[in-house]
Amino acid sequence: MKIALMGIGKIAVDQHIPAINTSPDWDLAATVSRHGKVEEVEAFTDLEKMLAARSDVRVVSLCLPPVPRFAAATAAIQAGRHVMLEKPPGATLSECYALEALARKHRVSLFATWHSREAAGVAEAKAWLAGKTLRKMTITWKEDVRRWHPGQDWIWQPGGLGVFDPGINALSIVTDILPDPIHVARAVLEVPENCQTPIAASIEFAHPHGAEVHADFDFRKTGEQIWSITAETDQGTLVLSEGGAQLSIDGTKRLSATEQTLTGEYPRLYARMAKLVSHGDIDVDVAPMRHVADAFTLGQRIMVDAFVE
């Protein structure tokens, strides 16, 4: 199927384009971007013009920041195109619900992607936790914003999520692997005095059976980057590290079965999108976003020193 990619920035170059180019399902037929281009692919600077000119493009994959994504997704859906959304799927929950309703009205597929759920160890972690009693879960997501998001000022503006831009990856894994739903009980958000969104967050969750669940997110981590989830249960301890790529149980490393079938998070996302389109299905799970919204609602805001890149 012919696909168009909108937003040719770092994530598109690093992940989306290689995944599309190596997939047997997709042909990258057009791009839409103010500045970025892909060699030997027709480039547009306006989505409406691309939709009018390329009726053969069945799918549009959106790699825009969250705030402008809704308008682009709406235009593509109304033009009868299937749409794939980078995480988070919108700037607000209401936008996501509206897009899903619009997709159903126009009978097109809509996929709200969560790439970290496709990490190699996640499926096996979910299977292992099923049927066990959780006692404690510790989520630690600490990375250097200067390294991973250079010059991306939108992260610090309303709708940009701040530290929740990477932190929502952890929440996407947690909401997938836990047998029981949790919700935010308390949160502390550290907001730089020159920003609108937090640079760090500490969150306590309520678990239906009383397990301790805590998350620490920080965008200021230099040196070793930490993306780990530790789950202590009545039958042992599970650790997902490297953003879900590595899994160990009681100190023993495990090989995920999914790693043997299809390598890479984004190739798996695009394979999933191909199946959704072929079956006319929709996959929009906003569970990770609910936690972020609740943290913003309940969170105690603490002002910290100005962020300087």
The alpha carbon dihedral of 273, 171, 173, 217 has a sign of positive
Alpha-carbon span 79 to 76, nearest angstrom: 5
Q: CA 187, 158, 113, 256: dihedral to nearest 10 degrees?
A: -40
CA geometry: angle at 23 spanning 19 and 28, to 5°? 75
Alpha-carbon span 270 to 280, nearest angstrom: 15
Contact between 219 and 162 (Cβ < 8 Å): yes
**Which structure tokens are listed for 308?**
């300087």
**Which structure tokens are listed for 221?**
């981590």
The alpha carbon dihedral of 137, 142, 148, 153 has a sign of positive
Q: Are strands 59-62 and 2-6 parallel, antiparallel or unpaired?
A: parallel
**Which structure tokens are listed for 63?**
């790699």
Q: Is the peptide bond before 88 cis (omega within 30 degrees of 0)?
A: yes
Name which of 106, 105, 83, 102 is nearest 94 in CA terms.
102
**Which structure tokens are listed for 284?**
């929009």
Contact between 77 and 83 (Cβ < 8 Å): yes
Catalytic hit among 37, 87, 105, 132 = 87
Establish whether 221 is a catalytic residue: no
Catalytic residues: 87
